[in-house]
């Protein structure tokens, strides 16, 4: 069975199950177990998110002998979930489907508020910078990262990925009023990779570093060469990209409200 799940990550210690039980996976698996009347239901996700990071279309799969229609899975599981987590869709999939391994790419968006005053109503939903940003400089620097590269300079020390080499397919930077949206698509991402890239882009956008600095950071293959890790507040996992042959819904709920 596959599910599409959205969540506000601010109250959780990331996606992956932990002893504390305060993770999205813990809540989802408890809800599924309650709905299925089983001691435990174990899930596998398309991409783990950190503490404070939001998910608009996390995809998970799990094995179950229970036969229910798709809408029953959605309504029944949501009944046992906190209000900040919601199953968006459910669909039976063949046993060959794997939420992580079957994904061709993954997409994220970072929403950033440029304002002399910190966020209030959207606190926890957006990152924040109080200095003006220069779009052309950030766009030029971002293009340095497109393609297949060794992203060691943007890799957290706790990263468990087998290789730092990843293929970034697209980075787009747009602005609407006081809000910036940075969109990232890659075959896969390293731990903290986007937040570390964001730190560098903002350093360049505010004029602290030249555009050429991004290439220097990338070539260094050393985390110490890059900017500090940026806040998780405005980071959204938009979801994985699968081949159409799987027949999974291709939609990202609530994406349009993001500036």
Which residues carry out catalysis? 50
β partners of residue 129: 114
* Nearest one of 118, 119, 121, 109 to 198, comparing CA atoms: 109
- For every residue of 52-96, DSSP letters joined together read T-EEEEEEEE--------HHHHHHHHHTTS-TTEEEEEEE---TT
Residue 65, token pair as written in the block:
């002998």
**What residues contact 101, with CB distance under 8 A and at least 6 apart?**
none
Q: Which residue has the tokens 């003006």?
A: 132
- Maximum CA pair distance of the chain? 58
* 221 vs 209: CA distance, rounded Å: 18
Tokens of 186: 């890659």
Q: 39-46: long-range contacts (C-beta < 8 A, 24 or more apart)?
A: 43/3, 44/98, 44/99, 44/100, 45/15, 45/99, 45/100, 46/99, 46/100, 46/103, 46/106, 46/239, 46/240
């Amino acid at each position: 069975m596959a599910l599409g799940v959205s969540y506000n990550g601010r109250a959780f210690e990331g996606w992956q199950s932990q002893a504390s039980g305060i993770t999205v996976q813990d809540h989802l698996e408890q809800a599924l177990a309650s709905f299925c009347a089983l001691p435990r239901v174990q899930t596998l996700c398309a991409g783990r998110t950190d503490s404070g990071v939001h998910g608009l279309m996390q995809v998970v799969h799990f094995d179950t002998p229970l036969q229910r229609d798709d809408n029953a899975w959605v309504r029944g599981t949501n009944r046992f979930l906190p209000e900040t987590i919601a199953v968006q869709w459910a669909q039976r999939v063949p046993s060959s489907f794997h939420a992580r391994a079957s994904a061709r790419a993954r997409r994220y968006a970072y929403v950033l508020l440029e304002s002399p005053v910190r966020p209030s109503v959207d606190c926890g939903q957006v990152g924040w910078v109080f200095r003006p940003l220069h779009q052309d400089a950030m766009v030029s620097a971002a293009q340095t990262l497109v393609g297949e590269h060794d992203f060691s300079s943007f890799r957290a020390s706790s990263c468990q990925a087998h290789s730092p080499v990843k293929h970034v397919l697209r980075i787009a930077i747009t602005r609407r009023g006081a809000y910036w949206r940075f969109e990232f698509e890659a075959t896969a991402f390293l731990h903290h990779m986007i937040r570390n890239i964001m730190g560098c882009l903002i350093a360049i956008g505010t004029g602290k570093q030249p555009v050429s600095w991004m290439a220097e950071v990338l070539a260094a293959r050393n985390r110490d060469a890059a900017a500090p890790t940026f806040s998780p507040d405005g980071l959204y996992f938009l979801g994985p990209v699968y081949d159409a042959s799987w027949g999974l819904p291709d939609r990202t709920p609530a994406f349009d409200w993001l500036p």
